[in-house]
Amino acid sequence: MAVVEGARRRVIDTGRRALGLDVPAADHTVAVLHSVDAERPGLDRRETLQLMRIRLLGATGAVIMAVSALGVGAQPVHQNPTSGMRVFGFFARAGTSTLAMCMIGTVLVIMAWLLLGRFAVGGWGGHPRHRLSRSQMDRTLLLWIIPLSVAPPMFSNDVYSYLAQSEIAARGLDPYAVGPVDGLGLNNVLTNNVPNIWRSTSAPYGPLFLWMGRGIAQITGDNIVLGVWLHRMLALAGVALMVWALPRLSRRCGVAPVSALWLGAANPLVLFHLVGGVHNDALMLGLMLAGLEFCLRAIDDAPHFDQRAWALLVFGTVLITLSSSVKIISLVSLGFVGMALARRWGRGLKPILVAGGTLGAIAVVTTLFVSFTSGLGFGWVNTVGTATTVRSYLSLPTAVGIITGFGGVLLGLGDHTTALLDITRPIAEIVAGFVTVRMLIATWTGRLNAIGALGVSLGAIVLLFPVVQPWYLLWAIVPLAAWANRPAFRVPAVVLSVVVSVMVMPRGADFYVFQIVESAIATVVVGLSLIFLTRNMLPWRNQPGVSAPSQQPTPYGVSS
């Protein structure tokens, strides 16, 4: 009997430790990703001059990308405004040269972003002696965004699917039941711009996004250029919300706001794929982060949970729910808000149930309002897994399944890739679910800030998701930018952002091998030449700055 009792106790202890209930704070490995940033003096005169040059370098790259998008961007099949024009149409005819232009512009923006990081987060393993101001960061980011915001879509054709699905909704049809071919017809101008793989596919997006898209369709009709620009306005609104929320969230974690903006909002993946690619993930992330900030104002800042705190909590929860009505994945953040709220209300299971019931009720009411008022219903619940039909090498379970299946082919065992994916993907989902549960518990016990725990959870979900597009990485990078400030996170995040940014072709499609090789050679030559010519004008090396020894650094805030 004692043996059975001892075994039962060991199982319980192991389970509690696995979930993080009995793990001492010092042993919580994820917590080492965070520390409190210290205040730093502003840039001196020499560094300010270097900043202006870095800003110009990035703006030059963005302009080159915008111009090259006239030829190698995701231009529409019909209603291409540059088609047949002598000057602007040249870029489409000179495919290899224009591809080289785009790759050079891409690398210039990335180089400028990395150099800007010296004045935001310091070198690879240190802290900046001086740090640029918030206004300097905002002006730099705005200057880099403007050229890409007026350029044709780049790196993806998804915006044309948005237009077609929105037109289906505008015609009174159900975009969750019919695709562009069935809803609009094969010869419709909007259908012809949708990639072949998605022409018969119903919409996987939430009702809020298609509600907005239906309004755009009613304004623009079949005008593709105007429709693309209005959808880009939605993306820019999402980026603006990110710029508003990130500094406020980072201050809660004791992280420098410009550091969070540099890694989160100024990230090349944001510039290239959310702004240039016109992806609705920008709106989803912006609403989610803004809602998280309002909720934490109610939970952390209010001395008493009074009427104002309740108003902030309800408003923040509504924003998060609206973000999930763009893409459902952001609803995960509501769980971390609930755990933080339960911790505020006291220990035990009852606060968790009350907090979960309260937030759940607000989310249900908001979702019902959007679904019924828009007239789109709940068909989106059945279509959220549409994208899993694509095999993405950025997804760990998909990559493992494909590589293992290829190994079986080499060994003469046959192609069992599909069967292997049916094994690896469910296992990955279980692991991602376990990580999320553990992060929820860490938030409840106070070992992790809700922002950091959410970022870690989204990181596990993204990496273990059946399909991972390049911009999906921002689901984790953006919230983690406000909390995880140690090299153990920043270095992999920067490397991954850079590598993925240069991997994707400018119109999301393949080019001939010789075009890619020749363009890559031209990019390397131009990049190395630029580094050589500006080696004494730009901080390519870790140049010593002028410190202020009389000024004692003070922390931005206290780590939660």
Instruction: Say which residues have a Cβ less than 8 Å from residue 414's Cβ, sequence separation at least 6.
Output: 408
Number of other CB atoms surrounding residue 388 within 10 Å: 16
Residue 553 has pLDDT above 60, yes or no: no
CA dihedral 312, 313, 315, 321 (to 10 degrees): 160
Residue among 356, 358, 377, 357 at smallest CA distance from 367 = 377
Instruction: Report whether 417 contacts 405 (CB < 8 A).
Output: yes
Q: What is the pLDDT of residue 367?
A: 92
Lowest mean pLDDT among 127-141, 159-173, 299-313, 499-513: 499-513
Q: What is the pLDDT of residues 474-518, one digit of tens each?
A: 999 999 999 988 888 888 999 999 999 888 777 655 677 777 788
Q: What is the pLDDT of residue 546?
A: 37
Q: What is the pLDDT of residue 552?
A: 45
Mean pLDDT, residues 32-36 taken together: 77
| Confidence label for 19 from pLDDT (cuts 50, 70 and 90) | low
Lowest mean pLDDT among 96-100, 170-174, 419-423: 419-423
Residue 534 has pLDDT above 60, yes or no: yes
Q: What is the pLDDT of residues 198-214, one digit of tens each?
A: 788 888 888 999 999 99
| Confidence label for 545 from pLDDT (cuts 50, 70 and 90) | very low
| Confidence label for 549 from pLDDT (cuts 50, 70 and 90) | very low
Q: What percent of the chain has pLDDT over 70?
A: 84
Instruction: Say which residues have a Cβ less than 8 Å from residue 30's Cβ, sequence separation at least 6.
Output: 439, 442, 448, 452, 456
Q: How many angstroms separate the Cα of 296 from the Cα of each of 67, 169, 346, 486, 560? A: 42, 36, 16, 23, 12
Kindly provide the b/e burial profile for residues 77-106, where b requires at least 16 CB atoms within 10 angstroms of the residue's own CB: eebbebeeeeeeeebbeeebbbbbbbbbbb
Q: Which DSSP letter does residue 462 get?
A: H
Residue 24 has pLDDT above 90, yes or no: no
Q: pTM for this structure?
A: 0.87
Mean pLDDT, residues 98-102 taken together: 87
The mean predicted confidence, pLDDT, of the chain is: 83
Q: Could you tell me where the DSSP H helices lie in 130-253?
A: 134-149, 158-170, 180-184, 189-193, 207-220, 224-252
Q: What is the pLDDT of residue 548?
A: 36
Residue among 72, 129, 121 at smallest CA distance from 100 = 72
Instruction: Say which residues have a Cβ less than 8 Å from residue 128's Cβ, sequence separation at least 6.
Output: 40, 118, 119, 120, 121, 122, 545
Cα–Cα distance, 341 to 219 (Å, whole number)? 42
Instruction: Report whether 515 contacts 71 (CB < 8 A).
Output: no
Gyration radius of the chain's alpha carbons: 25
Q: What is the pLDDT of residues 51-89, one digit of tens each?
A: 999 999 999 999 999 998 888 877 887 777 766 666 666
